[in-house]
Amino acid sequence: MYITTNGGLKILRIGDVQQTRFSFLGSASVAVRYSTACESTSVILRQTSRSLRQMASGTAEPEHVFKFLLVGDSGVGKSSLLLRFATGNFEEDQQATIGVDFKSRVVDVGGKRVKLTVWDTAGQERFRTLTSSYYRGAHGIVYVFDVTRRETFESLGEIWMHEVSMYSTIEDSIKMVVANKTDLGSQREVGTQECVEFAKKHGCLYVETSAKGNVAVEQAFEELVIKCLDTPALLGAPGSGKGVGLGGAGGQAGGAASSCCS
């Protein structure tokens, strides 16, 4: 049975109602017990209904904070992917990143509200010492390459995976290979099958995107969040809890899309 009281909700089980009726007939102590149980139920339900209202209005506190990191050669489209994900925009004349940058976005995935702080590193070699200090505490690592430049795909295994193995601090972090610029299909130098096998070999998810065409960008981040939420070791990882700050260098922050994971 549902009763509305001052905007809150009370649920009385059949047993409670019968207890009440008997209490009115005889025992005061039973009446008090019923009332206490009912009040606490009411408080829980009032909190639940407040959370639902907050969810609906977009003001609910995130349950988790994940730190994601974008790595890959210069010009592959890391900043463009992040810009697309965070703001929905794309810039033809996107400037090369100097050092690091980050953007945040709150997403609702699988019924959970999650705050993402996505760190965008410069691909240019001269920034490598600086950017490596931002790998710390990353729950998700995104290896980005440009499908029209084969050397950027080869760099993933030759450079970026070594960097991550040296500097990332969360062993169970989720890795994803992103093949970007799929809108330039005729200039493509790396085929899907080869990418899928590479990703599988390295235990990574795999997604093909176009930041320009807004293809599978949202899905890529969503898949990463789903996999993080599915990994208990990450939910306990420093920074993944509620109310944690953004985290920085030493911080603990907190086409077709296909995926595979070993």
Ligand X SMILES: Nc1nc2c(ncn2[C@@H]2O[C@H](COP(=O)(O)OP(=O)(O)OP(=O)(O)O)[C@@H](O)[C@H]2O)c(=O)[nH]1
Summarize as ranges the residues that interact with ligand X (CB under 6 A).
72, 74-80, 91-92, 94, 96-97, 122-124, 180-181, 183-184, 210-212
Beta carbon of residue 93, minimum distance to ligand X (angstroms, whole number): 6
Q: Which amino acid is at 18?
A: Q
| Binds 252: which of ligand X, Mg ion, none (CB < 5-8 Å by kind) | none
Residues 63-82 that bind Mg ion (CB under 5 A): 78-79
Q: How far apart are CA 55 and CA 50, in angstroms?
A: 9
Q: How far apart are CA 55 and CA 200, in angstroms?
A: 36
Of 64-72, 91-99, 155-163, 189-197, the segment contacting Mg ion by CB under 5 A is 91-99
Cβ density class 44-57: b for 16+ within 10 Å, e for less? ebbeeeeeeeeeee
- Is there binding between residue 180 and Mg ion (CB under 5 A)? no
Out of 38, 70, 84, 97, the only residue in the binding site for Mg ion (CB under 5 A) is: 97
Gyration radius from the chain CA atoms: 24
**Nearer residue to ligand X within complex by CB, 35 or 89:** 89
| Binds 41: which of Mg ion, ligand X, none (CB < 5-8 Å by kind) | none
Size of the site for Mg ion (CB under 5 A): 3
Beta carbon of residue 83, minimum distance to Mg ion (angstroms, whole number): 9
**Nearer residue to Mg ion within complex by CB, 78 or 84:** 78
Backbone φ and ψ for 240, nearest 5 degrees, come out as -90, -10
**Nearer residue to ligand X within complex by CB, 78 or 175:** 78
Asked whether 122 and 105 are in contact (CB, 8 A), the reply is no
Asked whether 196 and 258 are in contact (CB, 8 A), the reply is yes
| Binds 80: which of Mg ion, ligand X, none (CB < 5-8 Å by kind) | ligand X
Beta carbon of residue 215, minimum distance to ligand X (angstroms, whole number): 8
Beta carbon of residue 53, minimum distance to ligand X (angstroms, whole number): 38
What H or E segment, with its residue span, contains residue 107? strand 100-109
What H or E segment, with its residue span, contains residue 177? strand 174-180
Asked whether 219 and 211 are in contact (CB, 8 A), the reply is no
| Binds 171: which of ligand X, Mg ion, none (CB < 5-8 Å by kind) | none
**Nearer residue to ligand X within complex by CB, 180 or 252:** 180
Asked whether 168 and 135 are in contact (CB, 8 A), the reply is yes
Helix (H, G, I), strand (E, B) or coil at 228: helix
Asked whether 25 and 17 are in contact (CB, 8 A), the reply is no
Q: How far apart are CA 102 and CA 245, in angstroms?
A: 13
Of 16-24, 40-48, 95-103, 223-231, the segment contacting Mg ion by CB under 5 A is 95-103
**Nearer residue to Mg ion within complex by CB, 64 or 78:** 78
The neighbouring-strand residues paired with 4 are 9
Q: Give contact residues for Mg ion (rule: CB under 5 A).
A: 78-79, 97
